[in-house]
Amino acid sequence: MGIVKTKDLTFEYIRRDEEGNVEGITTAVDHVNIDLQAGQFIAVLGHNGSGKSTLAKHFNALVSPTEGTVWVDGMDTKEDDKILDIRQTAGMVFQNPDNQIICTLVEEEVGFGPENIGVPTDEIWQRVADSLQAVGMYSFRKASPNKLSGGQKQRVAIAGIVAMKPKCIILDEPTAMLDPSGRKEVISVLHELNEKENVTIILITHYMEEVIDADRVFVMDAGKIMMEGTPRQIFSNVEHLKELRLDVPQVTELAYELKKAGVPLPDGILTKEEFTLALKRLVMQNGD
Amino acid sequence: MSIIVDKISYTYEIGTGFERQALKEVSCVIEKGEFIGLIGHTGSGKSTFIQHLNGLVKATSGAIYYDGEDIYDKDFDMRKLRSKVGLVFQYPEHQLFETDIFKDVCFGPKNLGLDRAETELRAFEALRLVGLDESLYYQSPFDLSGGQKRRVAIAGVLAMKPEVLILDEPTAGLDPKGRDDILDCVKKLQKETGITVILVSHSMEDVAKYVDRIMVMNDGILMYNGTPKEVFAHYKELEKIGLAAPQVTYIMNDLKNAGFDVDVSAITIEEAKTSILKALGKK
Amino acid sequence: MIRDITIGQYYQTKSVIHELDPRVKLMGTLVFIISLFLGKSVWMYLAVTAFLAVIIKLSNVPLKFIVKGLKAVLILIIFSAAFNLFLTDGEVVVRLWKLKITKEGIYQAVFMVIRLMYLIMGSSLMTLTTTPNNLTDGLEKSLGFLKVIKVPVHEIAMMMSIALRFIPILIEETDKIMKAQMARGADFENGNLVKRAKAMIPVLVPLFISAFRRANELAMAMEARCYHGSEGRTKMKPLKYKKNDRIAYGVLAAYLCAMIALNIFLGGRII
């Protein structure tokens, strides 16, 4: 079993009108079966309202399934006495950096999680220093979070999770409110954590360029997993992605357009280097 | 109708010891009917700049002329300026407050002192322009999806019938389809009504696709002001200030270096496709 | 007016008082207030003044800054002075039409003004020298005994510190919403009181909605980080008494004893 596994996971919520009468039922997550491998960099794509955030909240036991089961590191999220262990194993970072920072000082913010799980004082200081270094924010430890940029705030939020020594970090659109340079900062910190500390990363996003270096990609729509595979496999399906309100990186789209115009390029080109190489090969073949 | 910005500077918190110069002698001309892209990293002064254009922030020095009139003149009607220059802030859906969508859109025209018939007419027109389904007009704005809420908020500014529409990152947080929908809608609006549009954006791909002219701000200075092709030709300088050119520009430069006879000034997929096909045909 | 309130503000500098444990400062404030209300004689007030002056000197906070806090309560001070001046019975000094001023009334009014002024100065001195987080920690620890009677001391302290963190964010948000509504033609500057209050609705509704959204998201983020109240929680920065704190407690005890002794010695005499 992987680090996170779901079986027939379904989540419904009941919509009510102003008098409290039931108006209807919305299925946010619809019979999802996934098995995520430890140590991987996993991306979940989907448009606004596709159910990807609700799915993510199940992995941290913030919501409980209507039907089906979620196991985090072998623990069933429906068992109440496991909740703290689950949350420590699978930490969660949210979209709005301002609404997840609790303390008035960076170092206290990072220490908040370890305090909650009863880590001794000396060890808290050690963990705070280590995790701030891991995200490159150590020199800001005495600063007020209000004075940081969006990217820096998200890095502090990530450090706050890292200090709890999780096996897995789930990030719910962590870059949606950041500018391009902030986005880059956050994504490169995540790859570093994945490679150096072997932390499993589950990144929920709708920025296509953040997905290119993932090990595995899931695409959601209407609460269901619609596509699953490596980035190359996923981005080979330009038409299907567009139907799901998504996009592909510009280079992939250019290659796709050229192919449509009769240039025999391979599917799923992800980087400009690949593109140049493929085009060179083509010219050489034709020249022979 | 044109806006002339003449060497405006703005300093924050004068006399507190925390002084910070947000704008340094910015000058430019904005002509009627233009579609302008304003780019720059966070803190470059672009938000401060756009707030000057409708008088929400007053320049420490310099002048702004709207249609030849000095907006800092004592007799100038600042409220009229605000109706002529519509400003849609970032995450504008956070400013919705009325019980139904239609009433919310009426807020702007009502503030202009228009009678009821005119107010409602304008609200209808604005909601139609942003392409919101008519069945939703009398629902609570808080029940809508993120993309729909944003359209309502934009309609709220359009209902004032501005001559200039400024949008501060109107696509932030939306999914790819939502982004395209909003920008297509703005482009259509600009073509149909001849309104001037200033689009603040972080996405070079969007800017390249939609605008006629790009202004680049860095550290309170207007660094570049020209057509997308002219500005993106400086992609190496743009990188130094935390920006970039669209990915297509990089691809074309790589191809050129690899010996392909392609046009390095291509900035959209369409242009790149044509140029590559041409180059391949020649070989 | 709002800018004049120094209560709750922190004045950053280095001093013996700044470095004291927050519990000592809380206790000190309490002792100071007791001594203030003990006094019924000029001599007592001289002693209290001397004590306050020494503390202010030690705190390195400019006197000007502390006095500024009084402006916000000036009206309250004037009113209570007037009440005492005109409504105290005793030996009549001056008679103005139907009002009479008595000797006792004069003393009462003067003492009341001094008491109120010192009360504000003393308590703002505590907040000026203690960071908000430190203060909440101190409160949580000092009021820990209330847990016995089921008062959620930890939760209250946590709420206080979160409120303090969100004040700047909400101020910024208010500014943003006001600007956005001004861009839609809203007018906050003209018109009478009713009109202006009505103009605030388009600001207050989005502000409340946003505050609730923030609260909701923050609660979820706290839960996700295993927050579950004070049970089994450790501290990154536990409060520990140092040498200066013990000395300060000694000084406070000595001061309180001296004041009580002085009070008994003076009896009911005013001068």
Reported as a pLDDT band with limits 50, 70 and 90, residue C189 is: confident
- Residue C71's pLDDT is what? 79
Rounded Cα distance, A171 and A159, in Å = 13
Q: What is the model's pLDDT at position C81? A: 87
Averaged over successive runs of 10 residues, the pLDDT of chain A (288 residues) comes to 92 80 86 95 94 94 94 94 94 94 90 95 96 96 88 96 96 92 94 95 93 95 95 94 92 94 90 93 79
Do B183 and B151 form a contact (C-beta atoms < 8 A)?
A: no
- pLDDT of amino acid B18: 62
Q: Does residue C4 carry a pLDDT above 60?
A: no
Tokens of A135: 């995200």
CA distance A198 to chain C (A): 20
Measured between CA atoms, the residue of chain C closest to residue B53 is C183
Buried/exposed code over B81-106 (b: 16+ C-beta within 10 A; e: otherwise): bbbbbbbbbbbbbbbbbbeebbebbb
CB within 8 Å: B96 and C206: yes
pLDDT of amino acid A67: 94
Q: Does A104 touch chain C (CB under 8 A)?
A: yes
Cβ–Cβ gap B175/A246 under 8 Å: yes
Q: Which of B245-249, C46-50, C68-72 has the lowest mean pLDDT?
A: C68-72
CB-based contact A182 B42, cutoff 8 Å: yes
pLDDT value at residue B52: 95
For residue A66, give the amino acid letter. T
A205: exposed, middle or buried (Cβ count in 10 Å: 0-12, 13-18, 19+): buried
How far away is chain B from the Cα of C176, in angstroms, using its nearest Cα?
A: 9
Instruction: Give the per-residue pLDDT at A267.
Output: 86
Could B160 and C179 be called an inter-chain contact, meaning their C-beta atoms sit closer than 8 Å? Answer: no
CB of A259 within 8 Å of a chain B CB? The answer is: no
Please give the CATH topology (third level) of the domain spanning A4-248: Rossmann fold (3.40.50)
Which residues does chain C have within 8 Å of residue B86's beta carbon, measured at their own beta carbons? 183
* Count of CB atoms situated within 10 Å of the CB of B19: 10
Distance of CA A62 to the CA centre of its chain: 16
pLDDT reported for residue C7: 54
DSSP string, C34-89: HHHHH--SHHHHHHHHHHHHHHHHHHT--HHHHHHGGGGGHHHHHHHHHHHHHH--
| Cα gap C135→C122, rounded to integer Å | 15
Contacts B147 to A, Cβ<8 Å:
48
Residue A91 contacts C where some CB pair is shorter than 8 Å: yes
User: pLDDT-derived band of residue C5, with 50, 70 and 90 as boundaries?
Assistant: low
* Whether B173 contacts chain A with CB within 8 A: yes
Is the model's pLDDT at C216 over the cut of 60?
Answer: yes
Q: Categorize the per-residue pLDDT at C2 as very low, low, confident or very high, splitting at 50, 70 and 90.
A: very low
Task: Read off the amino acid at residue B27.
Answer: S
Q: Which is nearest to B126 in space by CA: B147, B102, B96, B90?
A: B102
**List of chain B residues whose C-beta atoms are within 8 Å of the C-beta of residue C179:** 51, 56, 89
A180 touches chain B (CB under 8 A): yes
**pLDDT score recorded for residue B1:** 67
> Given this model, what pLDDT does residue C1 score?
36
- Mean pLDDT along residues C225-231: 89
- Whether A124 sits inside 8 A of C236 (CB atoms) is yes
CA distances (Å), origin A108, targets A33, A163, C23, C235: 38, 11, 20, 10
Average pLDDT over residues B187-200: 94
Cβ-Cβ contacts under 8 Å, B174 against chain A:
48
Interchain pair B82, C181: CB under 8 A: no
Q: What are the E-state strand segments in chain C?
A: 92-96, 99-102
Nearest chain C CA: its distance from B110 CA (Å): 8
Best probe of the A interface among C135, C158, C236, by most A CBs < 10 A, is C236
Answer yes or no: do B96 and C177 touch at CB < 8 A.
Answer: no
- Is the separation of the CB atoms in C265 and C44 below 8 Å? no
Judge whether A264 is closer than 8 Å to chain B, CB to CB: no
- The 10 Å Cβ neighbour count of residue C99 is 10
Residues of chain C in contact with residue B110, where contact means CB-CB under 8 angstroms, are 185
Task: Number of B to C CB contacts under 8 A, please give it.
Answer: 55
Subunits in contact with chain C (3 or more CB pairs closer than 8 Å): A, B
Tell me the pLDDT tens digit for each residue of B112-171: 999 999 999 999 999 999 989 999 999 999 888 888 999 999 999 999 999 999 999 999
pLDDT at C137 over 90: no
Contact A103 C161 (CB under 8 A): yes
| Confidence check: pLDDT of B246 > 90 | yes
User: Torsion angle of alpha carbons B263, B264, B269, B272, nearest 10°?
Assistant: 20
Q: Whole-prediction pTM value?
A: 0.87
Chain A residues in contact with B145 by the CB 8 A cut-off are: 48-49
Q: Token pair of C243, please?
A: 């040498």
For residue C3, the model assigns a pLDDT of 47
Q: Do C202 and B51 touch (CB under 8 A)?
A: no
Cβ–Cβ below 8 Å for B157 and C184: yes
CA distance A82 to chain C (A): 11
SS3 A285: helix
Of B31, B280, B12, B56, nearest in space to B168 by CA: B56
Helix intervals (H) in chain B: 46-53, 78-84, 101-111, 116-129, 146-158, 176-193, 204-210, 228-232, 235-240, 247-257, 269-282
| Res C6: pLDDT | 54
Q: Which of B177, B251, B260 sits opposite A272 (nearest CB)?
A: B251
Q: Is the dihedral of CA A96, A102, A103, A106 positive or negative?
A: negative
Q: What ipTM does the predicted assembly reach? A: 0.90
What is the reported pLDDT for C40?
77
pLDDT for the residue numbered C62:
87
Cβ distance of B277 and A250 shorter than 8 Å: no
Among B91, B177, B261, B275, the residue to mutate for chain A (most A Cβ within 10 A): B177
Write the CB contacts of C60 (distance below 8 Å, at least 6 apart in sequence).
Answer: C13, C14, C15, C17, C18
- Number of A to B CB contacts under 8 A, please give it: 96
